Amino acid sequence: MRRLVVNLPLIISSFLFFIFLAAPPGSAKEVIKLAHHLSPKENRHLAVERFAKTLAQKTNGAIEVQIHPGGSLGNERDNLEGVRMGTIQMSFVNPATTVNFEPLMGILDMPFLFQDIEHVHRVLDGPVGERIMEALRKTSEVRVITWLDTLFRVVLTTKPVNKLDDFKGLKIRVPESPVYTRIFRLLGANPTPLPWGEIYTALQTKVVEGMESAPDSMYNAKFYEVAKYLAVTRHIYNCTMLVINDKYFQRLSPDLKKAIVESGKEASLWLKDVTIKSESQYYEKLKQEGVKITSPELGPIRAAVQPIFKEYGERLKATDLLEQIGKMK
């Protein structure tokens, strides 16, 4: 009697091969790593949570967004580098970080450029915004999905700042951007570029005497514990961008691309409403933590920083863009 010899590995391989042939194209789940440097309490974090949830619904679970907040995968610059290299797929970043790869982004950090959030959207949701986004994509392979609203930036210090003269010699932390450095030098301050994660200790140890950012970020990072004076300057609007690695985006199916863009836009609309309502709430929270809030005279401060418009407009060949933005107020 002949024995039947069973080649088990061959049977398993054949079985898996036919399963693979039967599976519809693109059926494997896409997993997107989205890393950022801010607290999970931040409105922008809540917005990307909505983005992830909406995207999962629109794609019937074909895309899962895994969010890594609080600098768990690195600081803001690290996250942008990760998106550029493709080690992570998404993040949200500020022009001050992207300017190192696309100098044109620097015009979005011009002081007192925007009047209010409505002015911001007239600019960014139109041809000017498209030109800036395309420039970033071409030079860094980082695609902007949408803009994420935040609050206008203000100044938090360990001693009062109520007028232009109070900036003179002030050691103030700024993002690692030549635009921010130039702004505060024009004000007479001593700007010190530092990563976000080093600010608290720098204030605590008096390496710096102040920092500037949006009031929600200040509150959520608990900077009020080490600095008790806030000057409402509203000197820069932080045009935060939700970004994705362009090569990764391009390889996705048209349906998945559409779902990502639509989910980003929906999260952005939700955040815009939340942001407008939250500004006064964060000022009140900071007051409750013992922060003294003042409104310095802005006329001399605005006048002091005006030279940067001519300097950067000519250097970046973006004088026309700056003029367009001004006319849209």
Confidence of residue 20 (pLDDT cuts 50, 70, 90): very low
Most confident option among 7-11, 176-180, 299-303: 299-303
179-194 pLDDT tens trace: 999 999 999 999 999 9
Distances (CA, A) of 46 to 15, 65, 153: 44, 13, 20
Pull the structure tokens for residue 291.
């922060």
Confidence of residue 148 (pLDDT cuts 50, 70, 90): very high
Instruction: Write phi, then psi, for 32 (nearest 5 degrees).
Output: -105, 125
Asked which of 5-14, 64-73, 136-145, 185-194 is least confident by mean pLDDT, the reply is 5-14
Average pLDDT over residues 83-108: 93
pLDDT in the model for residue 93: 95
- Answer yes or no: are the C-beta atoms of 91 and 243 closer than 8 Å: yes
259-280 pLDDT tens trace: 999 999 999 999 998 988 898 9
Q: pLDDT over 90 for what percent of the chain? A: 84
Write down the architecture of domain 154-236+285-311 according to CATH: 3-Layer(aba) Sandwich (3.40)
pLDDT in the model for residue 276: 84
Helices 117-124 and 127-140, axial angle in degrees (round to 10): 60
- Answer yes or no: are the C-beta atoms of 264 and 146 closer than 8 Å: yes
Confidence of residue 134 (pLDDT cuts 50, 70, 90): very high
pLDDT in the model for residue 11: 43
Q: Where are the domains of the chain?
A: 154-236+285-311
pLDDT in the model for residue 173: 98
pLDDT in the model for residue 24: 41
The answer to whether residue 19 scores a pLDDT higher than 80 is: no
